[in-house]
Structure formats: C-alpha cells, structure tokens
Amino acid sequence: MTMRLGIVLAGLVISLSPAWADVISTFDADADGWVGISADLPSYTLGPEFAVSHNAGGYIAFADPNSSEAFFRAPAAYRGNLLHYRGGSLSWRAFSDPEPTYNGPLLVLKGAGQTLIYRSPVQPFGTSFATTTVTLAPNSGWSIAGGGAVSLSQFQAVLASVDEMWLTAELYYGVTETVALDDVTLHSVLPPVGVPEPAELSILTLAAGGGAMLGWHRRNKRS
C-alpha cells in the first residue's frame, strides 16, 4: 500500500506543477533587446529599426520617428514557437506624451506567412502608465491584415512560428508623441511538456487511488 500511496501523492505533486514559465521584460537594467521600428500600413512591411531610450525609472521609451506606424519590436524570447502560450495572454504597461488621440493596431503577430492584428475597441492608454492584456486566442479583437476574422487553425499556425511581435508605439496623430513601455509579460496557462493536463491528472489520480484501495481490501480479506 505504501508504494501505491506514493503513486497517488506523486500525482498530486504533478498537479501542482507550474505552467510554462512566463517571459517577462521589466527593463530594470536595460532595454532587454527591445527596439523601435516603423512599418507601412496596411501591408505591415517591416521598416527601419531605431534604438529606444532606457529610463532610470525602469522602463523604455520610443519617440515617433516618422509618418509611418511606430511599434516596439519584441526580442527573440517572444518569438519562435509560442504554441504552448495559446489561451494565455500578453500584457504590458504603457503611456503616451502627449495624450493619445489615435487608436490603431495594438499588437501585431507575424508568422507562417500571415499577419494577425489585434485592435482594442477603446484606447487603453493615457498619459500615465496603464496596463492592457490581450488573450492569445482568436476573438473579436483579432483580424487578419487586410480584413477578415481569424480562425483557430490560422491563429495556432502563427503562434507555432512567430517571426515578429510588435506592440504599438503609435498613439497620436502626427509625428509628435513619445510612448513608454514597461512590464511586458507573456503568460501561459498550459502545463509544461511531460506534465499531464488536469483531466488526465484526475484519471491518473483516481486510478492510482483505486489501485491502493483494492490492495488494502485484498490484504484485509486474506487476514
């Protein structure tokens, strides 16, 4: 019974295992690989790259460089196969100086030959830091560049091979604003590879517990 009980306890320990590790940029020391870019719309063609400034307060800032759409470009840690972050979220804090007057594409994901755009129905940012969170699953906020809803298969194909991730740095009509960025977090709700899903854990735990009870019953019957 001790061995079987150990199996049950092991199942419980596995159930407490964390999800995939979050990818976080706090900008405490430097820009953490983030840069500024400009892109042409509606093609979302990647344009010139620009350095961002690092603020001693622990955030980065990007001054609008030209009349194209400005974005913060994510480093390699936020690109590649992100399929295990499906259903999770991407959140960040930002503000604009001066007050935002433009509500354009908030987040851009490019991969598998497709470009996905997320737009918020309302402007989430102002002149002091505010947080926005985007769910990494197809919903009404997401569309394909050029128009059209995003299917689950299209979304997963892009997540499995993310070439580019851009966060908006364009919050004002005209070449005027500076946008600050902080606390970018890519968050997963899925367990790591090798850790069973919750439904599987329930079955394994019940099976192990049932085996333990059966063994106890047989020993008591013999005695």
| pLDDT, greater one: 201 or 120 | 120
Contact 190, 19 (CB under 8 A): yes
DSSP class of residue 21 equals: P
Nearest to 84 by CA among 193, 200, 170: 193
pLDDT tens, position by position, 22-79: 999 999 999 999 999 999 999 999 999 999 999 999 999 999 999 999 999 999 999 9
The pLDDT of residue 20 is: 84
The segment with the largest mean pLDDT, out of 9-18, 48-57, 187-196, is 48-57
The pLDDT of residue 192 is: 66
Residue 216 banded pLDDT, cuts 50, 70, 90: very low
Residue 190 banded pLDDT, cuts 50, 70, 90: confident
Q: Where are the alpha helices (DSSP H) in 95-195?
A: 152-159
Contact 166, 108 (CB under 8 A): yes
Topology annotation, domain 19-190: Jelly Rolls (2.60.120)
Tell me the domain boundaries of the chain.
1-18+193-223, 19-190
What single string gives the DSSP state of each residue in 62-112?
Answer: EE--SSSEEEEEP-GGGSB--GGGTT-EEEEEEEEES--------EEEEET
Helix (H/G/I), strand (E/B), else coil: 133: strand
Helix (H/G/I), strand (E/B), else coil: 149: coil
Angstrom distance (rounded) from CA 54 to CA 65: 17
pLDDT tens, position by position, 120-178: 999 999 999 999 999 999 999 999 998 899 999 999 999 999 999 999 999 999 999 99
Angstrom distance (rounded) from CA 192 to CA 161: 18
